[in-house]
Amino acid sequence: MEVVAVNVVSDKHKQQKTELLKLKCSVQNYDWGRIGYESRVARLFEKNSDCIQIDDKKHYAEFWIGTHVSGPSFISDSDNVSLKSFIMQNPNVLGHVVVDKWGHDLPFLLKVLSVGRSLSIQAHPDKELAELLHKMQPNVYKDANHKPEMALALTEFEALCGFVSSEEVEHVLESVPEIKEIVGNTRLDQVLTLDKQNGEVKEERILRSIFTKLMSVDKDSISKALSKLISRLHKEEETRQLTSKEELVLKLEKQYPNDVGVLAALLLNHVKLEPGDGLYIGANEPHAYLYGECIECMAASDNVVRAGLTPKYMDVKILCSMLTYKQGLPDILKGVSINPYVRRYTPPFEEFEVDRCMLDRGASVVFHALPGPSVFVVISGEGTMCTSSREDIVTEGFAFFAPAGIEVRVTTDSELHFYRAGVNNKVLMNP
């Protein structure tokens, strides 16, 4: 049996040892989630909760592992004690680096998502804007934190992410008369006569003008434009193969009829991930998950500004004003191999990183003690998770909190697929 070590840390970084804690986690039943047992989230939640029966008519969208008030985790072997309460009473479990930087709370939130239909076109505010929005509308914007995030595909996964290039914007305005009619010839002429030597500032200003105009048009105009577009595409598919973006438009319109987000999708990158691929999204970047299942990790926040593909509250003015309008395809993360069983995904954010762990039959892996906390979630298979003072049989849906300063050894006699999320190592090693 092979044992592989991960995250070697010297003794001077180790904190006071505390038990590995098994967690009971929360689920979110948003309408875009998959239904009943079709949802991996539902299956994980049923295994995690032991006694809850899945409703085969209910949508199961997100499985949360963390301390956020909108979906807190609880200590399994306690009398309804939340992980947040436990940490507040025992801040040493975070380690001094995390406490000094973020206070007495977990700085990240880990989720599993089962996406049955598109999420809203949305962006997450930076810290300054998050504080302002929370102060102005605390019932809508539930906290004052920013929400950079990263998605790791469990299945084939599709998303809209960031704006297409200037050349593609020009192509959309020339080839989609329904959008041209809305944004007007003046904006089209601006794109066609763009002086490339003026750099990115002018391109950003024009894109901002086009997107804001599109998102701000009245519902009747959007409904008429979409009716024309859908009718035209159905007619044209009789004589030619539609592009993947055109096929996406037809799909989105069925999910969200008369929604401006269907048109807005033409201005955003359509990204397709294979299992194991990752995608990170910074503050003020437009995106929408379309289909598939993923692991998602983020700073501990639930702030979302929406402006399309949703029946929920939308704030078009805020969204259009906050976006970066950065253009071009996003980076696709492949992860860095730590050993034969573990790949690490490290986004350019301080709050988190994620390890994808795929153990073969008879394999073992050791996560050495870190000066910060971790959480684990088991996706499939069965194995054993051990510390110096505890041993747990683990299987699908099990989740754990690992305090700073404890070593965790994971073994399996079959196969085991799980994820570990923790604070970005660059922060832990260079406080």
Encode 305-327 in three state secondary structure. EECCCCCCCCCHHHHHHHCCCCE
CB-based contact 298:108 (threshold 8 Å)? yes
Q: Which of 34, 40, 306, 356 is catalytic?
A: 306
The H or E element containing residue 109 is: strand 108-115
Nearest 5 degrees, angle CA 349-CA 277-CA 158?
Answer: 100
DSSP tag of 173 = H
Question: What values do phi and psi take at 398, rounded to 5?
Answer: -70, 140
- CA dist., res. 18 & res. 20, Å (int): 7
CA dist 247 → 139, 165, 250 (Å) = 37, 20, 5
- In the block, tokens 């849906």 appear at 397
Q: In degrees rounded to 5, what are phi and psi of residue 99?
A: -60, -45
Give the up-direction half-sphere exposure of residue 83: CA atoms within 13 A in the CB hemisphere: 34
Indicate the SS3 state at residue 25.
Answer: coil
- Region of residue 330 (phi > 0: left; psi between -120 and 50: alpha; otherwise: beta): beta
306 is catalytic: yes
> What DSSP assignment string belongs to 77-103?
TSSS-BHHHHHHH-GGGG-HHHHHHH-
Q: Are 68 and 109 in contact (CB under 8 A)?
A: yes
Let me know: does 110 contact 295? Beta carbons within 8 Å: yes
CA distance 279 to 151: 5
3-state secondary structure of 21: strand
Q: How many CB atoms lie within 10 A of CB 41?
A: 27
Which residues form the catalytic set? Answer: 306
